[in-house]
């Protein structure tokens, strides 16, 4: 991100949201809401304001494992490296204003709306970790049941524990750890899809990492299937087992906590070996490998861009096999996990493909379209407005003399044709007389 910020021609709008998108390929009008930081651009991220701030909140970047101040820098490598104020937690004491040597604190700052004209759009909304409901496998009820993202922050050198493995309940190092796979995925009641094997590989990576730092750790992975499909992935999985990490094919039935020690008691049955039924095992900490789910706010983005979503909630591509990059809207492409669960290498590959697709599109002087578009017979139009209401691409508007179709926005889907009670709308190349001629030709006597 730092390199991108230093590259000429790239404008980064941080702490901002897209408010509205109108237009079509080569001529999109985008409105961006730049949220108020309550800190001016003069800020150099020195941290003096955070030191004197008395108000605290949970640190979102560290998955709520530690606290941050109400005025803070998002994370160590944030671009730009400047503070922002969480007004929901700020107590308006203005101590930060008193210590800021650059007079960068501005409590009167307001959100700004910026308008930008662009020719094409790449949708790269990322993903969120599935949040299990409270009580499911002990999550949200027992402090020593955490998710993979929380473990990632614990193991990170810039995390809340400076990379030291500790359990949340008492700060002690857990020696016996259980990883539970497919939490929230491959589940008919939650998410039916697999997260492309990402959860499996993260578990293998983190188990190896813990074992390297703490060789005396006793680690067990409870799985349905270990999906290590990829270049050198199976070899990585084999290396993990050689280091003594145990993999048990099982379904976890119950998870309970010892109220005195906060240890976690789990009923496990190795379905490949045990014939005597489940047995109770005790662990110091349990890590849930949760599913990848669409990022928050994708519904609003999809509505603005007129994009469809597939059954799993991710954005729908033009064709899942032949064209997984483009969408049905010309000039809008998908990158990374916005289209579906992917590993880092797959996300990079699709990001490059998205850039290539847009470069090829924008490098031309003209964009050619097939005129399979709706047309309106103004004499028959009843001006009921149903076509405008049902058009998924906002390509029809109601005028004084009847409905009018924007041929660039129209995608020829036929929704308006199906909803028109006056039969005033037809689709080019799909008119009834054409079908009648074809039927006559087929049935014509030789």
| Same domain (yes/no): 315, 391 | no
CB 177 within 8 A of CB 289: no
| Same domain (yes/no): 196, 314 | yes
| CATH for 142 | 3.50.50.60
pLDDT of residue 144: 97
Domain span at residue 197? 120-367
pLDDT of residue 435: 81
CA 76 – CA 68 distance, rounded (Å): 13
Residue where one domain finishes, among candidates 367, 387, 419: 367
Number of domains the chain contains: 4
pLDDT of residue 275: 63
Over residues 146-159, the mean pLDDT reads 96
| Same domain (yes/no): 233, 337 | yes
338 is a domain residue: yes
404 is a domain residue: yes
Over residues 156-172, the mean pLDDT reads 94
Residue where one domain finishes, among candidates 333, 367, 401: 367
| Same domain (yes/no): 378, 359 | no
115 is a domain residue: no
Binned at pLDDT 50, 70 and 90, residue 278 comes out as confident
| Same domain (yes/no): 7, 82 | no
> Phi, psi at residue 188, to the nearest 5°?
-65, -20
Q: What are the C-alpha distances in Å from 390 to residues 156, 332, 395, 443? A: 49, 22, 10, 37
175-201 as b/e, with b when 16 or more CB fall inside 10 Å? eebbbbbbbbbbeeebbebbbbbbbbb
Binned at pLDDT 50, 70 and 90, residue 276 comes out as low
> Phi, psi at residue 390, to the nearest 5°?
-95, -5
- Is a pLDDT exceeding 90 seen at residue 229? no
432 is a domain residue: yes
| CATH for 58 | 3.30.70.20
| Same domain (yes/no): 312, 433 | no
Binned at pLDDT 50, 70 and 90, residue 109 comes out as very high
337 is a domain residue: yes
Residue where one domain finishes, among candidates 84, 110, 136: 110
| Same domain (yes/no): 173, 274 | yes
| Same domain (yes/no): 243, 325 | yes
pLDDT of residue 76: 84
| Same domain (yes/no): 342, 199 | yes
| Same domain (yes/no): 138, 159 | yes
Q: What is the pLDDT of residues 326-382, one digit of tens each?
A: 998 999 999 999 999 999 999 999 999 999 999 999 998 888 888 889 999 999 999
| Same domain (yes/no): 319, 353 | yes
pLDDT of residue 346: 94
| Same domain (yes/no): 246, 322 | yes
CB 202 within 8 A of CB 162: no
């Amino acid at each position: 991100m730092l390199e991108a910020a230093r590259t000429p021609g790239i404008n980064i709008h941080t702490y901002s949201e897209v408010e509205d998108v109108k237009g079509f390929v080569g001529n999109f009008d985008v409105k961006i809401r730049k949220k108020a930081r309550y800190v001016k651009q003069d800020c150099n991220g020195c941290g003096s304001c955070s030191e004197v701030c008395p108000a605290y909140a949970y640190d979102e970047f560290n998955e709520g494992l530690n606290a941050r101040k109400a005025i803070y820098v998002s994370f160590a490598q944030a671009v730009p490296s400047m503070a922002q104020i969480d007004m929901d937690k700020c107590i308006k004491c203005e101590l930060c204003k008193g210590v800021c040597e650059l007079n960068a604190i501005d409590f009167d700052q307001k959100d700004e709306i910026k308008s930008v004209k662009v020719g094409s759009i790449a949708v790269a909304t990322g993903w969120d970790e599935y949040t299990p409901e409270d009580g499911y496998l002990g999550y949200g009820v027992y402090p020593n049941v955490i998710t993979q993202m929380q473990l990632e922050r614990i193991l990170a050198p810039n995390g809340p524990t400076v990379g030291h493995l500790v359990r949340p309940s008492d700060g002690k190092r857990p020696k016996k750890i259980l990883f539970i796979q497919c939490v929230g995925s491959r589940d008919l009641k939650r998410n039916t899809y697999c997260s492309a094997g990402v959860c499996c590989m993260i578990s293998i990576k983190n188990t190896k990492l813990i074992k390297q730092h703490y060789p005396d750790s006793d680690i067990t992975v409870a799985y349905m299937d270990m999906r290590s499909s990829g270049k050198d992935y199976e070899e990585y999985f084999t290396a993990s087992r050689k280091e003594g990490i145990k993999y048990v094919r099982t379904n976890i039935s119950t998870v309970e906590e010892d109220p005195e020690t906060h240890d976690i008691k789990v009923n496990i049955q190795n379905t490949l070996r045990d014939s005597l039924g489940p047995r109770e095992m005790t662990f110091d900490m349990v890590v849930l490998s949760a599913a990848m789910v669409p990022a928050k706010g994708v519904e609003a983005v999809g509505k603005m861009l007129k994009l469809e979503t597939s059954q799993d909630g991710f954005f729908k591509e033009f064709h899942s096999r032949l064209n997984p990059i483009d969408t049905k809207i010309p000039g809008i492409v998908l990158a990374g996990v916005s289209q579906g669960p992917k590993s880092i290498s797959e996300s990079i590959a699709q990001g490059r493909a998205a850039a290539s697709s847009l470069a090829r599109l924008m490098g031309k002087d003209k964009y050619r379209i097939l005129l399979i578009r709706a047309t309106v017979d103004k004499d028959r139009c009843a001006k009921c407005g149903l076509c405008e209401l049902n058009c998924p691409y906002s390509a029809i508007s109601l005028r004084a003399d009847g409905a009018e179709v924007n041929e660039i926005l129209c995608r020829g889907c036929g929704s308006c044709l199906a909803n028109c009670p006056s039969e005033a709308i037809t689709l080019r190349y799909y008119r009834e007389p054409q079908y009648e001629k074809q039927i006559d030709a087929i049935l014509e006597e030789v």
